[in-house]
Amino acid sequence: MRQDGQALIETAVTLPVLIALFFGFLGAGVGAQAYVDLNTAVYLAAASSVTSYSDEMALSKQYAQDTFDATVRHDSIIQRAQLTCSNNPADYAAGATVTCQGSASIAFSQTPLSIIFGDVPIGASASATRSPYRSRRP
Amino acid sequence: MRRQSGQTLIMFAITMTFMFLSLVALVGDAVTLMVRYNQVNSEALLAAQAGATAVDEDAFYQGQHRLDMNLAESNCYGTKLLGGTRQTHWVESCAPVAGAPDTITATVRWDVSLPIPLFFPQATVRSTRTGRAVFGGQQAVP
């Protein structure tokens, strides 16, 4: 029985599957890391927000935004990152709870993983409570 | 004797299929659990911090640094959680730490449905974190 080229054909069939599997696992790992980074950035933003003076919505949001930006910029695969914190001024009073939501895209299109993945939208949310003794701006 | 040609090929194909599926399930489930654990960990930290804001004022003006535990637990349990349902993702416990009346420990739990339930349909991630009240000084300012 002729077996010339059999190994070549078997390799040609299995190699794409193995490559797809490899890139799939790599993509899953990269995606998970991006999500963890976004979640951490939103958590830190919410925690940072409640350290500002009480009843200062703009300042609290600025604290949150600065923290968020400084955290996500370290991960280049996270693109179009946006942070939104509560718009209700009462949430910025002493003892109140602020909720922040972050969204972003995992930019697989800028990596070799684009042969398998497109850009994937992700989101995260966190709530933090301001101390009831947080003072107002002097 | 029956023909046995191709038997190894079939065994190999079955074994490899199972191994590949297991590998995909392992990676998919592990990644999901890693992401969920990170979220639960952040929520436990924020729950503990929320609880630690409940300073006991009466005690403070008597020179004691401790939490109003009822309020602390209420703040801690009130932490907002994202994802899952109340039955699968919740603040499991908020409790004082023995011997440290200014400290509260929060545990957040999530019974995560695994995306590829090859071996288990569900797994539990849980994180416990502790928060301590900040008093800003040793004495009450009149």
Is B65 in contact with A62 (CB distance < 8 Å)? no
pLDDT digits (tens, 9 = 90+) for A83-132: 999 999 999 999 899 999 999 999 988 888 888 888 899 999 999 989 88
Closest residue of A to B133, CA-based? A131
Which residues fall within 8 angstroms of residue A6, CB to CB, at 6 or more apart? none
Whether B40 and B110 have beta carbons less than 8 Å apart is answered as: yes
Q: What is the pTM of this model?
A: 0.82
Q: What is the ipTM of this complex?
A: 0.76
**Length of chain B in residues, anyone?**
142
Task: Examine residue B139 and state whether it is found in any structural domain, yes or no.
Answer: no
A30 touches chain B (CB under 8 A): no
**pLDDT over threshold 80, residue B140:** no
Which tokens belong to B57? 């004022």
Helix (H) or strand (E) holding B19: helix B7-51
Place of tokens 């009130």: B78
Q: Across residues A66-77, what is the average pLDDT?
A: 90
Domain that holds residue B120: 7-132
Instruction: Find the mean pLDDT for residues A53-69.
Output: 93
B53 contacts A126? CB cut-off 8 A: no
Residue B112 contacts A, CB cutoff 8 Å: no
Domain membership flag for residue B137:
no
Residue B140 lies in a domain: no
Confidence at residue B130, expressed as pLDDT on a 0 to 100 scale: 94
The tally of domains found in chain B comes to: 1
Q: Cβ–Cβ of B80/A132 closer than 8 Å?
A: no
| Contact list, B75 vs chain A (CB under 8 Å) | 129
Find the residue in B nearest to A25 (Cα): B27
Contact of B108 with B93, CB cutoff 8 Å: no
Is B118 part of a structural domain of the chain?
yes
